[in-house]
Amino acid sequence: MTMKDTVMLSRRLALAVPFLAPFSARLIRPAQAQDAGTAARPLRVGVTAGVHAQVLERVNSIVQPQGLALKITEFSDFIQPNAALAGGDIDANVYQHQPFLDQQVKERGYKLAPVGRTVMTAMAVFGSKAKTVADLPRGARVAIPNDPTNGGRALVLLANAGLITLRDGGDFKSSVVDILTNPRDLRIIELEAAQIARTLPDVDAGAITGNYAVAAGLDPLKNSLIVETAGPALIRQYCCLVVVRQGDEAKPWAAKLAGAYADPALKEWVLQTFKGAVIPEA
């Protein structure tokens, strides 16, 4: 190779380096990716607006001294948080109970798993004008959540108040087709759970989960027509969960996030703040 050839080759290599460098950086970056929950890579947690978001803000103050950084994203309905978690847009979510999670996994094929319990928000039926169950008129329009588990939960509330009867006594799996008797000819209207509080003026009554009720200024224990009796079995069944993607259950950040909900100071704050409308897991 002549001196001229050597110089020309050197120039070609020098020109190639700027174009090769970005590709090299992209290849190296995944190996240098930060774990979730570090200062460089905050743990992305999805939550429904209202009660669960308020509680998670307190949890954030508990885990920060443990070196866990949170980035909180609020969602306005029950469907988006699981879709975002399954799609990798967030690392965990906090808003759903076990029956709802089981139904979502069954219907949508999500690979999700619970890693801890958080709080239970009591469901209650609120009247737009009626002050008691007896005040509901014949043919009253009653809104219930349109998701398969909370809809059944609402129907059980109506059955417990003697307004309807359900096949086999009813449970969270019940639907409107399971109504056996309806002596007052109630008109059951199925709506998205997040919308019921806002549409309460347009119906006679609505079954609202506690997180949306509290956010709307409604008190399940003081101004509802019917409210769930929060016994231990009900709390275990409807206590909301910290949920992650399968494979992340044993990650240190998952244990820290779930463990924060067991903090005694947090439980006391929940009881004092929500006056019994929100119940921490025992």
Instruction: State whether 256 and 204 are in the same domain.
Output: no
Task: Say what the pTM is.
Answer: 0.82
Q: Could you tell me if residue 62 is inside a domain?
A: yes
For the chain, the domain total comes to 2
Q: Flag whether 19 is in a domain.
A: no
CATH code for the domain of 198: 3.40.190.10
DSSP track, 77-106: SSSHHHHHHHTTS-SEEEEEEHHHHHHHHH
Domain-terminating residue out of 207, 229, 251:
229
Same domain, 90 and 138: no
Residue-by-residue pLDDT tens, the chain, 282 positions? 444 444 343 444 344 433 333 322 222 233 334 578 766 789 999 999 999 999 999 999 999 999 999 999 999 999 999 999 999 999 999 999 999 999 999 999 999 999 999 999 999 999 999 999 999 999 999 999 999 899 999 999 999 999 999 999 999 999 999 999 999 999 999 999 999 999 999 999 999 999 899 989 999 999 999 999 878 888 889 999 999 999 999 999 999 999 999 999 999 999 999 988 899 986
Rg over alpha carbons for the chain, rounded to the nearest Å, is 25
Half-sphere exposure of 127 (CA within 13 A, CB side): 16
Same domain? For 171 and 117 the reply is: no
Residue 60 maps to a domain: yes
User: Is residue 77 located within the same domain as residue 210?
Assistant: no
2 part of a folded domain? no
Same domain for 129 and 258: no
Last residue of a domain, one of 208, 229, 250: 229
**Does any domain span residue 16?**
no
Mark whether 132 and 220 lie in a shared domain: yes
Residue 173 located in a structural domain: yes
Cβ neighbours for 84, distance < 8 A, ≥ 6 positions apart: 46, 73, 75, 90, 93
For 106, the domain range is: 43-121+235-280
CA angle 235, 238, 243 (to 5 degrees): 120
* Nearest-angstrom CA–CA distance, 159 and 63: 42
CA distances 146 to 115, 143, 175, Å, are 26, 9, 9
Rounded CA separation 147/152 (Å) = 8
Whether 100 is covered by a domain: the verdict is yes
Whether 146 and 194 have beta carbons less than 8 Å apart is answered as no
Same domain? For 186 and 213 the reply is: yes
